[in-house]
Amino acid sequence: MKDQFKALVVDKVNDEFSMNVKNISLEFLPKSDVLIKVHYSGINYKDGLAGTPDGKIVRNYPFIPGVDLVGVVVSSNDPRFHEGDEVIATSYDIGVSHFGGYSEYASIPGDWIVPLPENLTLKEAIVVGTAGFTAALSIQRLEENGASPEKGKVLVTGATGGVGSFAVSFLNSLGYKVEASTGKESEYEYLRKLGAHTIISRDMTYGGKVKALGTQKWAAAVDPVGGDPLSSVLSQIQYGGSVAVSGLTAGTKLASTVFPFILRGVNLLGIDSVYCPMETRLKIWKRIATDFKPSNFEDFISQEINLNQLPTVLPNILKGHVRGRTIVKLV
């Protein structure tokens, strides 16, 4: 490997914050089990926060963000991985307290690494990334709690985002009738292309007031939004249905009553993709490569950029200007 390679480094000295692509050496990286030549990374909401001085994601500076990465093993002290293996590394502390994927090389603990499943390319895996994995885990949990296509429509909120886009596609692949909720009328055709059967405005899931109980509309829901919209959705889930919540873009507070739970037997399922057990993680990635697999991964890519473009593009995800996935090519 090269003596010097490129990485996006964020730094904060006193009140001075910087974000620049720099030449670094291997000594700059943490000493972990597996050294990976990074082929792709992606942009997630946490990455956007890491690129701001007050994002409260990065704990120590200087730091390399990027919660997703895929690539090829260069060297390994872990007997499970060998030179030339194609691998995925997402979640855990990557891009938060452990240097992440915005680097041509990454040093990652073996316990955080997933072998690339058969029938999936490295580029396809990064398009999925944390967002698609979270969507797949949400659907797995819904099914474990009784969801099935014949029980009725499944709502996806925040449907044009990373989690929402994949939830629409995965549910459609499994035969569910998907109702997609979005505040972006310009993206209706995009959602139809992914597999949405019906599309509704954001106001139709939450009109500004949360009712104790509303009309029963959906058999289940995938919700990466949280806040008052989640409270409203809970009041409109059919008897015995479930909502899988994974995000907080609409806020952290839940203003629901107990009525959906004690009168309709509704389940609120918390989805955590960060510390998901490896046994479950492997199962989910296998499903992503088989029965969840979209027919065209290119449909999810809003743009493909290089490392030098990151400082300009990264802030857009915090402004809500990104649909689907932005991927970063490092080779």
Structure confidence by residue, pLDDT tens digits, 33-53: 999 999 999 999 899 999 999
324 C-beta neighbours (distance < 10 Å), count: 22
Q: Do 170 and 291 meet the contact criterion of CB atoms below 8 Å apart?
A: no
92-147 per-position pLDDT tens digit: 999 999 999 999 999 999 999 999 999 999 999 999 999 999 999 999 999 999 99
Name the β-bridge partners of 242. 220, 267
Report the C-alpha gap between 112 and 147 in whole angstroms: 30
Q: What is the DSSP letter of 98?
A: B
List the one residue out of 18, 179, 34 whose CA is nearest residue 110.
34
Instruction: Enumerate residues 6+ apart whose C-beta is below 8 A from 128.
Output: 136, 166, 288, 297
How many helices (H) and strands (E) would you count in the chain?
Answer: 8, 15
Report the C-alpha gap between 248 and 45 in whole angstroms: 11
228-276 per-position pLDDT tens digit: 999 999 999 999 999 999 988 888 999 899 999 999 999 999 999 999 9
Confidence of residue 208 (pLDDT cuts 50, 70, 90): confident
Report the C-alpha gap between 287 and 236 in whole angstroms: 29
Say if residue 321's pLDDT is above 70: no
HSE-up (13 A, CA, CB side) for residue 289: 19
Q: What pTM was computed for the model?
A: 0.93
H-type helices in 102-243, by residue range? Answer: 122-144, 162-173, 188-194, 227-234
Say if residue 319's pLDDT is above 90: no
Report the C-alpha gap between 191 and 199 in whole angstroms: 8
Question: Chain-wide mean pLDDT for the chain?
Answer: 94
Report the C-alpha gap between 318 and 297 in whole angstroms: 23
